[in-house]
Structure 1
Amino acid sequence: MAPPPVVTGISPKEGPPGTRVTIRGEFLGASATDLIGLKICGCDCLLSAEWKSKNKIVARSGPCKGRGDIIVTTRSGGEGTSTVQFRGYHESIGPVKESAVWVEEAAPPSVPWGRRPMSPTAYTPPDPLGLSTEGDDCKFPEEELNELFPDGSGKLSDDNFQPGWYLLEHHSNTSFEDLRAGMVFLQRKVESQKEGQLSFLKANTGAVMDQLDRLVLLKNMFEEDQRKNGKEPLPSLQAAIEESITLADSLFSEILSRKENADKTREALSLLTRHKFLFQLPASIDKNIRKKEYDLVVNDYTRVKNLFGNTDVKLFQKILAEIDKKIEDLKEKLHTRMKTMPINVQEQTKYIRLLVSLNWEGDAAWTAITSRKDYLLGLLDKVKDHFKQKEDQENADKGKRKSKAEAEGAGAGGWSGTRAAWCGAACAALASELAALWPLARRYCAGDLAGAPNAPGRHADLKEMIIKAVSLFAEHMRACLMGGSGGAAPGAVDARLVANLRHLREAYDSLLKLDLPSQPLSIVEQVIFEYRVHGMSVFLARALRRVKALPEHEDWKIEEFSDYGAITCLPRLLDTYLSEALSSTHKCVVWGGRREGALLAPGGAPAAALQRHVQHALLAYAAALRGLALTHSDDTDFSNTSLSVALDQRLEEAQPAEGARSWQQRLLIAGANAQYTRRIGLPRIADMFDSYEFPKPTQALQAAREALSSLETTIAETYLEHKGDPLVGTIEPSMYMGRHKIDSDALVDDARPYVYEIINNLIAVHAEVDSVCGPASSRYVRDICETVCEELARLAACAPAPARAAAFRARLEYTLLRLACADHLTRKAENYLVEALAGLPPLTTDEEKKHMDKLVAGFKKRMDLQLASLNCNMETV
């Protein structure tokens, strides 16, 4: 509903009836048909109104008198208001004033002396007082005169003449002395008329005598005519005329009949010549239709309807009926061609104009728009069906040559050549058809297409059409491009993703040029964004699959000796896989096109997906290392055997092939890989994200560090379980092996053999760990030393109070073990040894102390090589 009209200005502001008034204001109607009422001072002026725009109307005032409002009424806004007024007044008609009314030409009845003026229209009653009348600016207001004299008049010739009205109207500003002089003039004038007509005759005696002579002459001539022709001359004259007519008819009857026939023939030929256009129009219509010159047909048809549309001549009606039948056939033909797709917009617009010109029943423009919309939807479905059928055929052909799994891997997903072609064809179809549909729809809404109704509901329908077409396109593209990663090679995936994105962005750019509403544009923009996110997920998912397949690539060959031990190919492959995924993501999908948002905006879902995928890949790497480290088939039990003997026995029983690794070595290598990745690999991955300007995966890196750290602990515990437990298990049996007893006063000269066995076992473990872990081997040796010290403390606590010689020997053994493992003892291990020594009586004499120092020095000299092997310089990691 539009606002009510408001009149804010008029020009001119006053005038007589018929004045051309320009009315200005706001909301004066959306069109000429919207204006349904116009009143000026209460008079209806709609018939003369000319609607110019919603702010201007031109009309002619009616027979109004006085001031009044200008009221405009519209169909859309109702009755309006006026802030200005128009004053109407009536003018007296003079000889030089144009007028559309009849001026009475009869002389006024009360003219002095009874004389007629020379020109009736030039008559102006003189002032009876003999004074000059005042100008219009001195006149008394007419409205007040009407109120003072409701039934009177100021005209001298009217029956209801009021002298007071006349004086106020013509002499309102005349002085009293002048009015008195005028009164004297009027009295003198009346006295002069009392003499009557006698004075008039005296002054005009010659003219009166002349008129009497003329009257006598006329009387004599009339009497002479009666004597000659009688009193009734008309019957004889009528008889003579009738006789002459009868004679003429008898003489010229044959000539007149031939003339009548000739006139009829001439009239028929003249009719054929004059209306040659009508009689030849049916053949002309057929000829122009064959030549596809439809504009000529429309022009001729419009012309003949204007000339003969209301004719009563049956011949003309028959020809018009034949023409109407041909026009109806032409309408159907044009309607069919307008709906038949494909067709360009110019030709379709031409057919719309022709149908409107031919008064086709229905909305031709709307029919054309719906036909083009249906064609677009059908074209998208047809493209989809065509490429789906082609893809199924390709998969069937591949299935004949390969296994079913290989065929599905090669043809599935959005990276096949068929689906890339599908994407390009669908984008081209959408861009081309919307480039035709949307301008046609805009012209329809703007009313540029002749005959298009300005219905508000059509705008919503047109918008819904565009949204439906774009939504169908988006649905097809999601099914085409986001169906899976497929089995294509990495290079093919990158190339086809870039090609598909180019097709989508070209289609999007074409829609931007059409100035479509934001809703359909956002649908296509969302598809592009989702495909970019899908491409990033595909790259990262491919990296995840390759990381999960790392155990298949592990050959346990040492590629590098780092500060953390022997490193195989796994850390390098992890870097390679993630680098390729991030590089492909950066190259293909990170940078957006026109009006596209940032893919990895902070806090967005794609950035979270990137973090999640990277975390999955890193955790999968940790899981792969865990599987490689903890999976083994070595079930040999060496729980009651010396570890060094067990190692020699294993080497003798099973000689591995070149490059083969024992399970313990694989366990240590896996630990070295985990530690190297945690310390070196993860910071390198973080730098990789910074180089591509990606958000750093802090949470993923932290989870990976925790997983790798946990794996390192698990590997250390597992190694301790399989190496330390057998070593610790041999201590107690070896300690009491041989039932060594010593007298309380005997001199101890050496430690028991179990001490040397422990040292040899630790050397064997150290050698194995050092061969794999290098400087990082200290952790494993420390753990085993701590376990050994704990076992010695336990045995010391469980043993009864020893004799003096036995206590000296126990102190010597603990001292030698402490000396041998000095570089590997933790604080906890030191505490265990201190606890074991605390249960022994101290050395009281200098002789015992010197003897102890001698034995320790001899041990150092004798075991120098072993001690050097066990306590070689190692960095604590």
Structure 2
Amino acid sequence: MKSPPKVTGLSPKEGIPGCKVTIRGENLGTSEKDLEGLTICGANCLLLAQWISPSKIVCQTTNCKGDGEVIVTTKSGGRGTCTVRFRGLQILPNAVKECAIWMDESSLFGHRLNNRTGPSSPMASQREDALGLKVETAVPLSDAELKALFPDGSSNLALRNFDAGRYLVESHSSTSFSDLKKGLKNLRQQSSSIKTEGPQTFIKANLSTFMNCQDILASIHKGLEVHENIVHKDEGVEGSTSKGVDSLNPFSEDMLEEGENAEEDQEDDGQEKIPTLQKLENLLIESNENAKTIFETVLHRKDRADSTRNALNVLNRFKFLFHLPITMERNIKKGDYEVVINDYERARQLFSSSQVPAFIKVYQDVEERVVKFRNQLKKKLMQLPSSLDDQKRLIRYLIELNAEGDPAWDCIVNQQQWLVNLLNTYKDEHITLDKGNVEQEHLKIKGHHRRQYSGSGIQIKVSATDASEARFNPPQNVLFLEELVQLLDLSFPDLWRLGQSYFKASIVSEAGGKEMKIDRTKEKGFKTMVTNTIEHFANLVRAAFLPDTLVGLEPSERAKLGFWKETNQEGSGAWLPQCVRSVRGILGSLMILEVPANCLDVLHSLLADLRIHCMHTLFQEATEDIQNLHTRETWVLQMDEHGGISALPALFESLVIDTLQHLKEVVSRVKQGELNIFADYDIQRMTVELASEMIKAFAVCLEQLAFRGQAEADYQKQRLSEAQMCIPVSLFQSEDSLPSNEQCLVIVLSNNSHVSQYVIPNLMEEFRKHGYPNVQEIENVALEAYVELDEKIFEAYCEQKTEPLVCALEPGMNMGHFEWHNCSIPSGVRPYVKTALMSAVAIHAEINAIAPAFMLRVMTKVLESIAEEISRLTSCAMEGYSQAGALQARLDLAALEEALSPYRNAGTSASFQEALSAVPKLMRKEDRELLEKLLAKFREECGFLLQCFTSDPSSV
């Protein structure tokens, strides 16, 4: 609140009513509407005030009496103070002097009403000074001060309690002493002229009039004497006098003649004589009646003209009241409600207590129109939607019209009910559409129409014709949430601000209206309404997305929230982060409005549950998508220094990162006051389980690729008939053929190794960056699955590759009915050894082309299998070895062991040693020399073959 107003200067500092005063000071208001009151010497001068600036106000004074303060009151600063004083001077009015206020003129005209000798001209009624000096119009003292000085005296010359001292104080307080001496001289002259010259001068000026009056009276007196037969003693004197009078009275002859005739008539009729005065009265009455008969129509027309003139004067003087009904109706149609209210308030102050029948009748008509106007305003106030300013304006109008009840509270209750009903309407519409009972095009039209009042918002994009695009449209519950958030964001702030303005009593005071009566007991009810509205919104959202959280509600209450069918639409979880943002946005808007925290607890709880639901849904959808990645395998290799991998590991990594990116705003706390969902132990365990399953899902995908059935393999061959692999063509029978099952195993094994070594550590860093708990546990659980899959695929590949090779050793060894105890001297390594080495070279080439990193591991396994089989076959020679047979056996074993020596391990060496132990030793030097010679021949003939097995790839 600003500082109170302070008046520090006045110009002028005194004056009569109606004088213009310039008021200067500090904080005198921010505008003309901010100015709420202005009193000068206790008199209200607000209507005559003109606000110029915060430091200047110009005002005309009213009936200000005596010495007093100038107090300015504003809405922004309240009642102010004053450091200077104003002196209100009184004036002595007369009939022709203009005055700014109503004055009591009874002292001027009251004592002359029955005085027929009073002046007929208004100028004659003007106040004249008893001293013959100029009268001062300004009275230096107030009535109270004068009454204190002269309690029983008056300055009116016509009153008995006239006090000369008070007269001099009121009329000549500033007259100089010399002028007072002149006035005394004038007063004495007037007094002496009244006593001496006055009567004489008057008689001289009107002597003829006095003589005529005397003659007429004498003539009348004589006529009366004749009619009454009065005998006067002094006839001579009287006769002469009468004769003189008769000559002067123009009516004497007529009076005598009429008197004699009347006397004769009475004698002839024998009637009793009527007194002359009585007859004179009768004559006057008859004359009056005759005059009325003659002038009745004229007088009647005069009366009608006077009545018409008076009526026109009244109509002209009070035309405001008589024109008010039609003026009110015109202004109501134009929407000038403030003009209507101001006119009505003015009429009520002027004519509400009037006893004039015409005024009463017109004022009753005005009241009837005001009643209809109130009802119209109430009806308009209850029509929603409408802006907050319009609602405040209508409430102010109703309060200024003294409407019954509490319009502001009625508006608040109506708006809250309208908001709740609209939430339910949206719920019913979307549930109906969700069940497929209404065409979606109907919602599109209806939804657009519903948003016309509130501006742009989320547009409902639906299509009833294109089924391919329909699956990309947002689900109905998502559209429903967007509409609820939009409605609450647009309408709830108006409800809240209206309630705050109501309890602060600022709805009317902001516009300078009268004070409102506030029922403080309704604050609790308003808070309950706000809480119920927010809770209803939260429950509707829960029913659409989290129905399992409403199991604690009563069946009737649960039924009001509606039942949604389970969403099976593809990618529906991708809309959940937007739903979280929407709820978070409306929560932030309500927090900006400073809604009490306990009212927002339901929204905080809803937001936390929705965040958890979003995380759970997106993780599950990502898990399903990752498991289905095997359908997108093209077997096109991307080579690097670690070997070749297909596109699936990159797809898997991007899918997980996209999921985490979508959940970035969901799992993190954006707004202050939001709950940390990972603080709960159960949520932590659920997050670890969901994340682990999502990471392990790719292992399931790889396993499906590695061990796909023949039907699936055929389907992939048909689907990818044009796909080509980035590996040597010699590995396949044709360019457009798919890799064999063994090659697929190697590719899958390479993908699995790449994911374990590179992708999963990268993903774990992403989990840590986004604030997920127990990331190490997620990594350990996921790696276990990939290690297990690696062993499984490796064993399967080795089994498929070594089993044919090992199975071919025994038939090759016995080819041509070869017998170890009966054979010729060897001429070189037997073919079965070369065949085994060629098979090993094929395996070596296949591994080297796809995944060189697995070379040592695979070839070691192959050599182990060959060594074990050779050891078994050598040990199974039942008839023993001849000298030549021993030489041949040792030659074959030496060739195999030397060729595969880069991949030999302890187990392989033990197998070869076991095989050699079953063959007799070469005792003769010649046999040993032949063995070395044949081995050298083998190295020379199969040198290129042996180079494939070198331990140093750069030597190839």
The match for 2:497 is: 439
The match for 1:720 is: 798
Q: Report the CA distance shift for 1:652/1:533 in structure 2 as closer, same or farther (over 3 A).
A: closer
The match for 1:574 is: 652
CA distance in 2 between counterparts of 1:412 and 1:561 reads 42
CA contact (8 A) 1:759 1:817 kept: yes
Which of 773, 776, 797 matches 1:698? 776
The match for 2:534 is: 470
The match for 1:234 is: none
The match for 1:374 is: 417
The match for 2:551 is: none
Letter in 2 for 1:462: F
CA distance in 1 between counterparts of 2:949 and 2:929 reads 27
1:555 equivalent to 2:617? Answer no
Superposed counterparts of 1:397-796, under 5 Å? 401-402=465-466, 404=467, 406-413=468-475, 419=479, 426-445=484-503, 454=519, 456=521, 458-474=522-538, 507-525=586-604, 544=623, 547-563=626-642, 565-583=643-661, 585-586=663-664, 593-595=670-672, 597=674, 614-631=691-708, 633=710, 655-658=733-736, 660-689=738-767, 697-741=775-819, 743=821, 752-796=830-874
Displacement of 1:535: 6.7
Displacement of 1:536: 6.4
**Structure 1 gap ranges (5+):** 1-249, 255-269, 637-650
CA distance in 1 between counterparts of 2:384 and 2:906 reads 90
CA distance in 2 between counterparts of 1:546 and 1:659 reads 27
Write out per-residue CA displacement over residues 209-249 of structure 1, whole angstroms, 9 at most, x where no aligned residue: xxxxxxxxxxxxxxxxxxxxxxxxxxxxxxxxxxxxxxxxx
CA contact (8 A) 2:863 2:900 kept: yes
CA distance in 2 between counterparts of 1:674 and 1:557 reads 16
Secondary structure at the residue paired with 2:851?
Answer: helix
Letter in 2 for 1:864: G
Displacement of 1:337: 3.3
Q: Report the CA distance shift for 1:392/1:487 in structure 2 as closer, same or farther (over 3 A).
A: farther
CA distance in 2 between counterparts of 1:681 and 1:506 reads 35
CA distance in 1 between counterparts of 2:597 and 2:704 reads 53
The match for 1:183 is: none
Q: Report the CA distance shift for 1:682/1:600 in structure 2 as closer, same or farther (over 3 A).
A: farther
Q: Report the CA distance shift for 1:284/1:351 in structure 2 as closer, same or farther (over 3 A).
A: same
Q: Report the CA distance shift for 1:428/1:774 in structure 2 as closer, same or farther (over 3 A).
A: closer
Write out per-residue CA displacement over residues 772-793 of structure 1, whole angstroms, 9 at most, x where no aligned residue: 2224222222222222223334
Secondary structure at the residue paired with 1:668?
Answer: helix
Displacement of 1:559: 1.9
Q: Report the CA distance shift for 1:628/1:344 in structure 2 as closer, same or farther (over 3 A).
A: closer
CA contact (8 A) 1:345 1:440 kept: yes
CA distance in 1 between counterparts of 2:796 and 2:858 reads 10
Letter in 1 for 2:379: T
CA distance in 2 between counterparts of 1:652 and 1:688 reads 41
Secondary structure at the residue paired with 2:952?
Answer: coil
Letter in 1 for 2:854: A
Secondary structure at the residue paired with 1:595?
Answer: coil
Q: Report the CA distance shift for 1:314/1:466 in structure 2 as closer, same or farther (over 3 A).
A: same
Secondary structure at the residue paired with 2:948?
Answer: helix
Write out per-residue CA displacement over residues 66-108 of structure 1, whole angstroms, 9 at most, x where no aligned residue: xxxxxxxxxxxxxxxxxxxxxxxxxxxxxxxxxxxxxxxxxxx
CA contact (8 A) 1:412 1:484 kept: no
CA contact (8 A) 1:547 1:617 kept: yes
Letter in 2 for 1:339: M
Letter in 1 for 2:411: A
Displacement of 1:469: 2.5
CA distance in 2 between counterparts of 1:653 and 1:688 reads 39
Please, what is the CA RMSD of the aligned residues? 5.7
CA distance in 2 between counterparts of 1:470 and 1:339 reads 22
CA distance in 2 between counterparts of 1:627 and 1:497 reads 31
Displacement of 1:466: 1.4
CA distance in 1 between counterparts of 2:793 and 2:706 reads 7
Q: Report the CA distance shift for 1:508/1:561 in structure 2 as closer, same or farther (over 3 A).
A: closer
**Structure 2 gap ranges (5+):** 1-280, 286-309, 332-336, 446-460, 508-514, 547-565, 714-728
CA distance in 2 between counterparts of 1:300 and 1:758 reads 121
Letter in 2 for 1:833: F
Letter in 1 for 2:532: K
CA contact (8 A) 1:752 1:813 kept: yes
CA distance in 1 between counterparts of 2:869 and 2:771 reads 55
Displacement of 1:409: 0.4
Displacement of 1:516: 0.7
The match for 1:69 is: none
Displacement of 1:304: 8.9
Which of 355, 378, 381 matches 1:338? 381
The match for 1:823 is: 902
Write out per-residue CA displacement over residues 101-132 of structure 1, whole angstroms, 9 at most, x where no aligned residue: xxxxxxxxxxxxxxxxxxxxxxxxxxxxxxxx
CA contact (8 A) 2:820 2:880 kept: no
CA distance in 2 between counterparts of 1:740 and 1:343 reads 107
CA distance in 1 between counterparts of 2:483 and 2:444 reads 21
CA contact (8 A) 1:415 1:486 kept: no
CA contact (8 A) 1:285 1:297 kept: no
Q: Report the CA distance shift for 1:301/1:604 in structure 2 as closer, same or farther (over 3 A).
A: farther
Letter in 2 for 1:367: D
CA distance in 2 between counterparts of 1:770 and 1:302 reads 107
Q: Which moved more, 1:510-519 or 1:861-870?
A: 861-870
CA distance in 2 between counterparts of 1:778 and 1:600 reads 48
- Count of aligned positions: 589
Displacement of 1:809: 4.8
Which of 838, 859, 868 matches 2:947? 868
TM-score for both structures, normalised by structure 1: 0.54
CA distance in 1 between counterparts of 2:742 and 2:489 reads 65
Q: Which moved more, 1:525-534 or 1:476-485?
A: 476-485
The match for 1:62 is: none
Write out per-residue CA displacement over residues 653-690 of structure 1, whole angstroms, 9 at most, x where no aligned residue: 99333464222222212211221222222233334556
Q: Report the CA distance shift for 1:571/1:340 in structure 2 as closer, same or farther (over 3 A).
A: closer
Letter in 2 for 1:368: C
Letter in 2 for 1:413: P
Displacement of 1:373: 0.8
CA distance in 2 between counterparts of 1:665 and 1:523 reads 58
- Percent pairwise identity: 21
Q: Which moved more, 1:810-819 or 1:659-668?
A: 810-819
Q: Report the CA distance shift for 1:514/1:305 in structure 2 as closer, same or farther (over 3 A).
A: farther
CA distance in 2 between counterparts of 1:462 and 1:860 reads 100
Displacement of 1:798: 4.6
Write out per-residue CA displacement over residues 384-418 of structure 1, whole angstroms, 9 at most, x where no aligned residue: 6788689555899976643x4x25403243799xx
CA contact (8 A) 1:796 1:839 kept: yes
The match for 1:11 is: none
Letter in 2 for 1:734: G
CA distance in 2 between counterparts of 1:438 and 1:598 reads 25
Secondary structure at the residue paired with 1:340?
Answer: coil
Letter in 1 for 2:525: D
